[in-house]
Amino acid sequence: MDPRLEKYAKLLINVGIHVQKGQTLVINASVDSAPFVRLCAAESYKLGCREVIIRWNDEFLTREKYLHAADEVFDAVRPWDADMMNTLAREGAAFLSIVSRNPDAMKGVDTDRMRRYNRAYGEAVAEFEERQMSDKVQWCIACVPSTAWAMKVFPGAGPEEAAGKLWDAIYATMHITAENDPVEEWRRHCEAIIERKNKLTAYNFKYLKYKNSLGTDLTIELPEGHYWEGGSSTSADGVSFIANMPTEEIFTAPKLDGVNGVVHATKPLLVSGQIIENFSFTFEKGKIVKVEAPENADILEAETKIDEGASYLGEVALVPYDSPISKMGILFFNTLFDENASCHLAFGASYPTVRGAADMTKEERLKLGLNDSIAHEDFMVGSADLSIVGVTHEGEEIPVFIDGNFAF
Ligand code: ZN
Ligand code: ZN
């Protein structure tokens, strides 16, 4: 066995999800990643985990269901299915997702069925989602290659070669080598992110102004009392964890009605099983009023209308153009990697990154300008010539990004 594989499992369990003695761990994973999931479960029990509950999925079967199941299946979630996730979150379980998604797996599937099911599921597990998004529970998302995904990323290579290349790429993004101690690497990595996010929080910008040669010309207002997040998080029980692995981003929430202008995407986005490229959004008072794309603009637009909040932004994230993942020059067709290689925004729900907001109701958060939606879709806007200027409450303009990278 590749020595990096065991290190990866240990890293996810000990640092990423940081499962505690006596705690329940839920792992969502594809059957393609079963050997890796077994390593993760074994490591968790070694740490005194109470129980590891696995929720398997299989893209072949998911696709078959979307193609052939009765139509009404996609409008409702069985109460016990939703109750399982909501109850486990209430009980303080930790949630690890291991993603192996093939970007083309749902090609040709009825996008309306997917959207309807996502809406029904999102509404049914709203309690779980709320606990996860406000970091009340530990959660972590990481990836393991499937052959189909690897062959999409490395189209010229055979199945084994492609999978090997994708594994190498993932180990590199995870700072894992055959020789090093990745736990120590991650401590250093998170410290650097935390130092920068504290700097940004201290500036207390009122606006961020984005510009590049693609035509992006966007002003984002930030809510009063906002802070920047990134690196590691802390759960309600005081346990540190890392929600996304890898992670390079520093993020906060935009003010719901304070976004104006145009932004152009710089990487493809997978929506309802379709890849959408070269799209742009136009905003007026926070709302997306125009969606443009050479192809599939209608699918993207429908996604921004899944509910009221989906047509407003919920996240603004900064990632340098020369971040290690970006420098690899690989298009992963997977948000977890692509978002950590590029400045991005998300339409849909906000994380409660305003002081005190984590303990507020949704209505109170809305008043602060924090968005609520069952959607949260990241899209990439970073480019080599992106400039971002921060404007303070006193009107002072401070460069945040120059030519795609941090100015400080
Ligand atoms: Zn993000
Ligand atoms: Zn996001």
168-213 pLDDT per residue, tens:
999 999 999 999 999 999 999 999 999 999 999 999 999 999 999 9
Q: Where are the domains of the chain?
A: 3-173, 197-230+247-406
**Ligand closest in space to the Cα of 348:** 2
Contact 181, 246 (CB under 8 A): no
pLDDT of residue 1: 85
- The C-alpha angle 334, 340, 341, rounded to 5 degrees, equals 90
Cα(339) to ligand 1 centroid in Å equals 6
pLDDT of residue 220: 98
211-238 pLDDT per residue, tens:
999 999 999 999 999 999 999 999 999 9
CA 213 to the chain's CA centroid: 26
pTM: 0.91
- CATH number given to 3-173: 3.40.1830.10
Q: Average pLDDT over the chain, rounded to whole?
A: 96
268-294 pLDDT per residue, tens:
999 988 899 999 999 999 999 999 999
Cα(377) to ligand 2 centroid in Å equals 6
Cα(36) to ligand 2 centroid in Å equals 25
Cα(113) to ligand 2 centroid in Å equals 23
Cα(347) to ligand 2 centroid in Å equals 8
User: What is the widest separation between alpha-carbon atoms in the chain?
Assistant: 59
**Ligand closest in space to the Cα of 340:** 1
Cα(43) to ligand 1 centroid in Å equals 28
Phi-psi region of 135 (alpha: psi -120 to 50; beta: other; left: phi over 0): left
* Mean pLDDT, contiguous 10-residue spans, the chain (408 residues): 95 98 98 97 98 97 97 96 97 97 93 94 96 96 96 95 97 95 94 95 98 98 97 95 95 98 96 93 98 96 96 97 91 92 96 94 95 95 97 97 95
Cα(4) to ligand 2 centroid in Å equals 28
